[in-house]
Structure 1
Amino acid sequence: MQQIDALKILTEQAASGRAVFTRRDLERMFRADRPAARAATLKRLVQSDWLRPAARGVYVYPAGLRNDGYDLERIARAIRRGDYSYVSLESALSEWGAISQVPMGYLTLMTTGRKGVFQTPLGTIEFTHTARPLEAILAATVSPPDRPLRLATPEAAWRDLKRVGRNCNMVDHQVLEEIIDERGVG
């Protein structure tokens, strides 16, 4: 496939809101090519910096990024596609205001998939495994509009933080209690 044709396809995808792709996504998008030609097209797009590797088998089309603060979550969703992941631990507690430090470029997630840490061009993603059933995860998370991943409630994020044995000293317990009281959940 000619690079210009591949860029047209990527631009169409970006216009519909997609800028993060797995290798399989790209193979489907460039399906008119034979496998060797698809691999060559992908290699050319990476070499010319139109696509950037984000993790093994995951690519980012920089021109299509939304820069809305959730691009790292989109990469995480692609890395663990097929598993259920949600923002929790330090990242969620920081968003709720229970931790004064804001983890810039570091996203902590709970996942039904494997644990792991991934360095990406946009920041670091840390997956921590949870064995919780999907019903419990859905009950302990909220789904903010236009966000790729669900967000743990403050109670769930605190519970996750303690369960996995993380540093709980950075949490302002008084603020956490106030947040929980304001939400009317206990």
Structure 2
Amino acid sequence: MLDFFDSLGIWAFRLNNIRMYFKDENEKSLQVALNRHIKNDIIQKCSRGVYINKRAKKPLFCLESLAGILRDNATFYLSLESLLSELGLISQFPNRLTFISQGRSGVFNTPYGIIEFVHSAIDAKEFLRDCFFDEKRKIYIASQNRAIKDIYKHNRSIDLYEEQLKKDKNGFA
């Protein structure tokens, strides 16, 4: 099954993905099999209900891919400190990927890094306004203006952003 998933490009999966292929197995049997594969270092537990096939080919953007699996039922986009750092609008490199999400807020410590989702109650019709879909990363990404609005709305790293603005305004790099 793991080799089949790998041939489809599936390197990380939820228990529900496995359950579809083993409909006659009960929940406990599936969990015992998963635990045995974890113990034998074939599968790695990523977070609650999410597993990684250690033998599978990993995508170039592992964390972004994991975000999609962790929040497969919620719309989200890259923003806040992660994007502001990428754009050079704050000088610090965050220790996590930060997303705005229609789902719950949460921090996930994965084997590939930290993923943080920050809930926003933006109306669904407006949620992805000023965002674009990045084909390489397979995620939505906020525009620069949207990311700046997000840090103020969510009161995140405002001091880092304003400090960089002052440096840029005064001609310091």
* Correspondence for 1:101: 92
1:51 partnered with 2:43:
yes
Map Cα deviations across residues 151-172 of structure 1 (whole Å, 9 max, x no partner). Answer: 1111111110111111223233
Map Cα deviations across residues 67-99 of structure 1 (whole Å, 9 max, x no partner). Answer: 51x211222222222111111101111222322
Q: CA deviation at 1:65?
A: 4.3
The more displaced of 164-173 and 31-40 is 31-40
Alignment partner of 2:63 out of 44, 66, 72: 72
TM-score (norm 2): 0.85
* Correspondence for 1:86: 77
Matches within 5 A, 1:123-162: 123-162=113-152
Residues 129 and 65 (structure 1 numbering): CA distance in 2 closer, same or farther, change over 3 Å?
farther
Q: CA deviation at 1:16?
A: 1.9
Q: Indicate if the aligned counterparts of 1:98 and 1:176 stay in contact, CA closer than 8 A.
A: no
CA distance in 1, matches of 2:92, 2:36: 40
Q: Indicate if the aligned counterparts of 1:140 and 1:153 stay in contact, CA closer than 8 A.
A: yes
| Identical columns (%) | 29
How well do the aligned residues superpose, as a CA RMSD in angstroms? 2.3
1:41 partnered with 2:33:
yes
Alignment partner of 1:114 out of 100, 104, 110: 104
Structure 2 unmatched runs, 5+: none
1:27 partnered with 2:19:
yes
Number of residues of Structure 1 aligned to a counterpart in Structure 2? 167
Q: Indicate if the aligned counterparts of 1:97 and 1:175 stay in contact, CA closer than 8 A.
A: no
CA distance in 2, matches of 1:151, 1:175: 26
Residues 10 and 120 (structure 1 numbering): CA distance in 2 closer, same or farther, change over 3 Å?
same
TM-score (norm 1): 0.79
Residues 26 and 174 (structure 1 numbering): CA distance in 2 closer, same or farther, change over 3 Å?
farther
Amino acid of the residue matched to residue 130 of structure 1? S
Residues 159 and 65 (structure 1 numbering): CA distance in 2 closer, same or farther, change over 3 Å?
farther
Q: CA deviation at 1:109?
A: 0.8
CA distance in 2, matches of 1:162, 1:37: 48
Deviating above 4 A after TM superposition, structure 1's stretches of 4 or more consecutive aligned residues are 174-177
